[in-house]
Amino acid sequence: MADLAPYPDIEDLLVQALADLTSTGTVYPPDLEAQLPFTRVRRVGGGDDRRTDTALVEVETAAATRAQAWQVARQVQQRLISGPFHAPGAGVMDRAQTEIGLRGVLHDNPAVRCVLATYSVSARRTT
């Protein structure tokens, strides 16, 4: 029996899905303050049923002000839960649901304000 094709890289898929809303990546850049608002996507767990990869993903939005961080985080949330989303070359996100809602979190730099949410994101193989 042949091996199954790999699941899409869910972090890459979400970075592409959010790129028109905010600067995005899987780590904060060294010059974060110059790129605000910035949204960081990190897979923190999840599982699969051989057909669908269901990832637990933290999505953190950093901005110069609390108001901007919350505004962008709400836009990100609506984009994710409005799926499905297809990113050419990255894969298909079928569904996302909020597991832990938007909440303010501290950043090491007091000039940066952050809002974090945790989502369950379902993606499938495209080949």
Please write the tens of the pLDDT for every residue from 109-121: 999 999 999 999 9
Nearest one of 101, 85, 82 to 16, comparing CA atoms? 85
CATH 3.30.2000.30 fits 10-124, yes or no: yes
State the pLDDT at residue 36: 97
Q: What is the pLDDT of residue 89?
A: 82
pTM here is 0.94
Provide the pLDDT for residue 127. Answer: 61
Q: pLDDT tier at 5 (50, 70, 90 boundaries)?
A: confident
Q: Could you read off the pLDDT of 43-80 as tens digits, one per residue?
A: 999 999 988 999 999 999 999 999 999 999 999 999 99
Q: Using CB atoms within 10 A of its CB, is residue 27 exposed (0-12), middle (13-18) or buried (19+)?
A: exposed
By the 8 A CB rule, do 79 and 90 touch? no
Closest among 4, 5, 3, 18 to 93, alpha carbons compared: 18
Q: Is the dihedral of CA 57, 40, 124, 45 positive or negative?
A: negative
Return the domain boundaries, the chain. Answer: 10-124
